[in-house]
Amino acid sequence: MTGQSYLHHQDDLAERFWADSDPASLNLYRAPNPPGSLQSAPDPNLPEELRGRPLIREEVEPGRNLFLLVATRIESIDWLKLDQAGSLRARFIWDEGTLSAGWLSP
């Protein structure tokens, strides 16, 4: 897959997606540790006072400055289906809103 990605941080589009998101899906923006940090035991990575219950909008707001939206405009997809009886491959290309597609040799 190829395309162009655009980062939206604290702009109108990012603000709209933040506002439209359920607080339950935004709770990781309150995490005290970066994602992937090694922990000595299982840990939900939330401050103690926010654990074990659904969060409300006001509780996730402090994480808003960490929210980043990545919008990608896909330009092409190379699709491959592997099959011992015969594989298939196709390419899809979007150019100025027009889709072209064709079969390729796998």
89 and 61 in a common domain? no
* Residues of the domain holding 35: 2-72
68 and 21 in a common domain? yes
89 and 40 in a common domain? no
Q: Please name the amino acid found at residue 25.
A: S
92 and 65 in a common domain? no
User: Which structure tokens are listed for 7?
Assistant: 């980062």
* Per-residue pLDDT tens digits for 35-89: 999 999 999 999 999 999 999 999 999 999 999 999 999 999 999 999 999 999 9
Q: Can you tell me the distance from the alpha carbon of 77 to that of 21, in angstroms, rounded to the nearest whole number?
A: 29
8 and 50 in a common domain? yes
pTM: 0.73
Q: What are the φ and ψ backbone dihedral angles of 16, each rounded to 5 degrees?
A: -65, -45
Q: Can you tell me the distance from the alpha carbon of 24 to that of 46, in angstroms, rounded to the nearest whole number?
A: 12
Say what the pLDDT of residue 50 is: 93
93 and 41 in a common domain? no
84 and 48 in a common domain? no
99 and 54 in a common domain? no
